[in-house]
Structure 1
Amino acid sequence: MNSTLRGTICGVAAAVFYGTNPLGAMNLYHDGITAYTTLFFRFGIAAVMLAVMMLVQRRSFALTRRELLTLIPLGILMGTSSATLYISFNHMDVGIASTLLFVYPVMVAVIMAAFFREKVTAATIISILLSLAGISLLNKSGDGSSLSVLGVTLVMLSSLSYAIYIVVVNKSNLRLSSVKLTFYVLLFGLIPILGVTFATGGTLQMLATPRQWIYATQLALMPTVLSLVLMVVAVHDIGSTPTAILGAIEPITAVAIGVVCFGEAFTPRLAAGIVLILTAVLLIIGGKHLSPQRITVAITRLGRKVVKTWRWK
């Protein structure tokens, strides 16, 4: 198997695995497990898995003071992003929540332009407009009722937290392996989860049945550990941009799980909203490689092919 094919397969698999977040979370919710307990076991079990990987690979767990001071806020950002997303599942369809979450690349572009003086391109502006249009189409759920304002707010906070996380990782220049970085991010990500749980007078529940442990392990393994490892392989083999484009499969997977496993409605309006948001994200990702000349050439070639195919003979 050549590296391009392997990278593509790994990129698709990583996106699909990450899109399985609702599968374990919603089933645990149905058993009465809270979002914070679900996240505690997801992060905790995944951290143990990654620690075992580091031990097998004989990697050091040591951190410098600078690394520690960077990883703690990264963990808090990741914990906040995951917590707000998981809580939003209680207020809206998981497919819609996962699609709204995918506006984070647009937020990254806006943050970089606002705080790091990156040039605002036409692709960025168009992407923002497409995202807003897509979100407006998603303002009603499958049964026609308006979406929960709280649910949408939670997902936007989740997306913003993750966007800031990406910017910090990009600007911090940490010299850590992806496994080690993720291990500590998950470990420190427990800080906001435990903090909010105890601050609100709540308690962590214990998983009581094999079924619950299976779903908790699924959350730790599939959308966390496997998704991470396969994404690293994909980036190495095909590059970051193609891997990011393949990431558009994540919300599609979540929508499919919502429809098939939880009976969520899928309407033409929702489909149009999803397409607009995914188009905005793909435009942001591929924006650096687009230019008016390339777009003109692509449209011209497409037009010639259409004319050639459908012309009267």
Structure 2
Amino acid sequence: MNSQLRGVVNGIISGVSFGMIPLFSIPVIAAGMDNVSILVYRFLFGSAAMLAILLLRKTNMRVSLSELLRIVLLAIFYITTALATLECYKYLSSGIATALVYTDPIWCALIGLAFLGDKFSIKLTSSILLASLGVMMMTGVFSGDGTFSMIGLLLGLASGLAYGIYLILVPRLKVKHIASLKLTFYVFFTGMWLLIAYSLMTNGGVEEVPDSSCWLDLALLGLIPTAISNICVTVSLKLIDSTIVAILGAFEPLTAMVVGVVILGEPLGFIGVVGGMLILVAVAILTINPQKLKFIRK
């Protein structure tokens, strides 16, 4: 397998594995665990797996105090994304919620337009319009059957916005020189302790895991859509262009939709499917650069 094909395969694995978050988190939510506790265990298992890989690679784990403070800021936005996504599952199907998180490139473009001096373009305008229409179709604005949830919509969009800010901050906080997997480990590890502190202040501490089934789900949540997803995306980014990796991220909402409908029994009508496709097209328009797709056409 040549390096470009390996990069594509790792990008697909990353997207598919990340799209499995609903498969392992929704049963634990249904068992009564609160979202903060779920994320503590997810980050615990995920950061432990990533640390094992980093130690096997003999990675220097030192970071400066200033870098640690920047990592704390990144962790705040990451856990905001994760919490909003889990909360969104209470109001919308997991496939729709994950598709809303996938709007982060649209939010990045809007933030660039509002604060970073970017200018309007046909590509940007068409992407925003398509994504807006897709979001409305997926969340039931046009259905008239009472399934629309404004709270769910706002939570999903907040999740995408928080992740968009996270992506914008990484190159601007002078942490880009830190190896991707090492940075991701510290974001998860720091986020875990922030969540523990929040849980101690609000609920008296992290909840106990109710049964062995939940332990298994939490372990898989930390390993598959957390550790494996981030390890694979790190490998993919080293082998192929980041634009291609972003496009392969479309496997994330597609996987979540399949999991939601086939395994979790969530409804997804024709309008919702069309809406999801519009969001994927909007993100593709915004991220695809034809010059960077030459290796696919060879």
TM-score by length of 2: 0.91
Does the Cα contact within 8 Å between 1:40 and 1:193 map onto a contact in 2? Answer: yes
- Greater mean alpha carbon deviation, residues 243-252 or residues 145-154: 145-154
Q: CA deviation at 1:209?
A: 2.6
| CA–CA distance in structure 2, aligned partners of residues 266 and 146 of structure 1 | 11
Does the Cα contact within 8 Å between 1:98 and 1:251 map onto a contact in 2? Answer: yes
Question: 2:294 is matched with which residue?
Answer: none
Q: CA deviation at 1:202?
A: 5.5
Letter of the 1:72 counterpart: V
Letter of the 2:174 counterpart: N
SS at match of 2:139: coil
Question: 1:295 is matched with which residue?
Answer: none
SS at match of 1:272: helix
| CA–CA distance in structure 2, aligned partners of residues 257 and 137 of structure 1 | 20
- Greater mean alpha carbon deviation, residues 40-49 or residues 202-211: 202-211
Residue of structure 2 aligned with 1:211, choices 206, 210, 213: 213
Question: 1:46 is matched with which residue?
Answer: 46
| CA–CA distance in structure 2, aligned partners of residues 58 and 117 of structure 1 | 41
Letter of the 1:159 counterpart: G
| CA–CA distance in structure 1, aligned partners of residues 155 and 105 of structure 2 | 17
Q: CA deviation at 1:69?
A: 1.9
Q: CA deviation at 1:192?
A: 4.8
For residues 228-281 of structure 1, give each alpha carbon's deviation from its aligned partner in whole angstroms, at most 9, with x where no partner exists: 111122222221111111111110100000001111112111011111111111
Question: 2:251 is matched with which residue?
Answer: 249
Q: CA deviation at 1:132?
A: 0.9
Question: 2:119 is matched with which residue?
Answer: 119
Question: 1:188 is matched with which residue?
Answer: 190
Q: CA deviation at 1:113?
A: 2.2
Gaps of 5+ in 1: 291-313
Q: CA RMSD in A?
A: 1.9
Q: 1:197-208 to 2 correspondence within 5 Å?
A: 197-201=199-203, 203-208=205-210
Question: 1:55 is matched with which residue?
Answer: 55
% same residue: 30
| CA–CA distance in structure 1, aligned partners of residues 210 and 228 of structure 2 | 25
For residues 210-234 of structure 1, give each alpha carbon's deviation from its aligned partner in whole angstroms, at most 9, with x where no partner exists: 2211111111111111111111222
Question: 1:308 is matched with which residue?
Answer: none
| CA–CA distance in structure 1, aligned partners of residues 198 and 107 of structure 2 | 25
| CA–CA distance in structure 2, aligned partners of residues 150 and 135 of structure 1 | 14
Letter of the 1:189 counterpart: G
| CA–CA distance in structure 2, aligned partners of residues 93 and 195 of structure 1 | 30
Does the Cα contact within 8 Å between 2:36 and 2:83 map onto a contact in 1? Answer: yes
Would you say 1:224 and 2:226 are equivalent positions? yes
SS at match of 2:209: coil
| CA–CA distance in structure 2, aligned partners of residues 266 and 251 of structure 1 | 13
Would you say 1:103 and 2:103 are equivalent positions? yes
Question: 2:151 is matched with which residue?
Answer: 150
| CA–CA distance in structure 1, aligned partners of residues 267 and 116 of structure 2 | 41
Does the Cα contact within 8 Å between 1:80 and 1:192 map onto a contact in 2? Answer: no
Question: 1:294 is matched with which residue?
Answer: none
Does the Cα contact within 8 Å between 1:133 and 1:276 map onto a contact in 2? Answer: yes
> Structure 1 residue runs of 4+, over 6 Å off?
none
Q: How many residues align?
A: 289
| CA–CA distance in structure 1, aligned partners of residues 200 and 158 of structure 2 | 21
| CA–CA distance in structure 2, aligned partners of residues 211 and 143 of structure 1 | 38
Residue of structure 2 aligned with 1:285, choices 274, 284, 287: 287
Question: 1:260 is matched with which residue?
Answer: 262
Letter of the 1:78 counterpart: Y
| CA–CA distance in structure 2, aligned partners of residues 154 and 114 of structure 1 | 22
Question: 1:303 is matched with which residue?
Answer: none
SS at match of 2:278: helix
| CA–CA distance in structure 1, aligned partners of residues 198 and 127 of structure 2 | 34
Distance 1:144 1:197, change over 3 A: farther
Does the Cα contact within 8 Å between 1:14 and 1:228 map onto a contact in 2? Answer: yes
Question: 2:139 is matched with which residue?
Answer: 139
Question: 1:16 is matched with which residue?
Answer: 16
Does the Cα contact within 8 Å between 1:124 and 1:284 map onto a contact in 2? Answer: yes
Question: 1:297 is matched with which residue?
Answer: none
Question: 1:159 is matched with which residue?
Answer: 160
Does the Cα contact within 8 Å between 1:36 and 1:83 map onto a contact in 2? Answer: yes
TM-score by length of 1: 0.87
| CA–CA distance in structure 1, aligned partners of residues 41 and 102 of structure 2 | 24
Question: 2:80 is matched with which residue?
Answer: 80
